Structure 1
């Protein structure tokens, strides 16, 4: 792998990372409910999920998972169920609109719960695995590339994804007072919940 091909890969990854997806919505959901700490914990869970999936692909395990239809379908439907569950939670919050109670409950939510939401939303999303498997080979030379080259490409996605979510968290923090307005927050919860359920439905109907 040359620096030129890696530069091209970086441009592609930046475009992929900037596209809104479940990771973005889960981070926003936790940032709104649990503040900066909640968002960071979810972000950390997402990053670990990305690293696990990237490592699996780099070591050749990802292809085995994809080829094992029962295992792949299990991961896929677990992802569908979890995204819809998170989406329903957000929609329920928007419907009730009782954010004083929700914030009180949210402040008592364990850090592990927020980390778990980020981790599970990422690790049960087989589209992340499929992305690695379909894109990485385009930038690797079968005759010269090593496992370390594959891991570098995979970890680049995880790092850039985390950086983008950190930028998003900083933006949320700057406008946090405005976001805490009841009408604004209900609208954001409604959009976030609808998007998460939409991602779940799209995952269920693919292929």
Structure 2
């Protein structure tokens, strides 16, 4: 793989990364709920899932899942259900409108959610989206030569995971910087409602997309 091919891949990957999707919506929602720590843990969970899926694609394991109608649909419908669950929970939070004064608190039914939950949500929302795996399988070969070695494929996959994580860190940092504005009840309710609807929309889109 040449440097030109790698840079071309990065340009493509960055466009895909910055486009708002389920990862973006969930990171925003969890940053609002759990502050910077919640957002960072969600981002780390998403990045970990990207590493897992990228590794599977590079090793050829991802192709087995994508080409298996049963396995693909099981993962897809699990992703649909999980996105809808997260979306409904976020909308319920907007309807209740009960927020902690401290922006670093995380109120969930009156109790602070454990930190690992945010990592888990990021990981599960990404790992149950088979379109991520399909993206790796369809894009990586276009930037690799016919005689490309495994390290080249892993480099591309891990680069996507790294820059995706970096983008989410920037997002979380920005939201943390404007936390005083985001603490306003009307703003929080609006953002919760918007991100909840967005997650439901992404879930519906995943449900209707053909394999």
Which category describes the TM-score, using the shorter chain as reference length? over 0.9
The answer as to whether partners of 2:106 and 2:113 remain within 8 angstroms in 1 is no
Structure 2 partner of 1:184? 187
Is 1:45 matched with 2:70? Answer: no
Q: Counterparts of 2:23 and 2:68 in 1: how far apart (Å)?
A: 25
Given candidates 147, 160, 167, the residue that maps to 2:150 is 147
Q: What does residue 168 of structure 2 align with?
A: 165
Contact 1:86 1:193 in 2 (8 A): yes
TM-score under structure 2 length normalisation: 0.94
For residues 32 and 12 of structure 1, the distance between their equivalents in structure 2, rounded to whole angstroms, comes to: 29
Deviations 1:85-122 (A, max 9, x none): 00001110111111139944377211111110000000
Range with bigger deviation, 84-93 or 94-103: 94-103
* Cα distance in 1 between the residues matched to 2:141 and 2:107: 48
Q: State the secondary structure of the residue aligned to 2:100.
A: helix
Is residue 2:171 matched to residue 1:193?
A: no
Does the Cα contact within 8 Å between 2:50 and 2:127 map onto a contact in 1? yes
For structure 2, the residue ranges without an aligned partner over 5 or more in a row are none
Shift of 1:158: 0.3
- CA distance in 1 between counterparts of 2:170 and 2:100 reads 27
Within a 5 Å distance, the mapping from 1:44-193 to structure 2 comes to: 44-100=44-100, 103-105=106-108, 108-142=112-146, 144-193=147-196
The count of corresponding residues between Structure 1 and Structure 2 is: 206
**How far apart, CA to CA, are the structure 2 residues paired with 1:118 and 1:100?**
22
* Contact kept in structure 2, 1:34 and 1:107, CA below 8 Å: no
What are the ranges of 5 or more consecutive residues in structure 1 without an aligned counterpart?
none
Which residue matches 1:205?
Answer: 208
Aligned partners of 1:135, 1:103: CA distance in 2, in Å? Answer: 38
Equivalent residue, structure 1, for 2:18 = 18
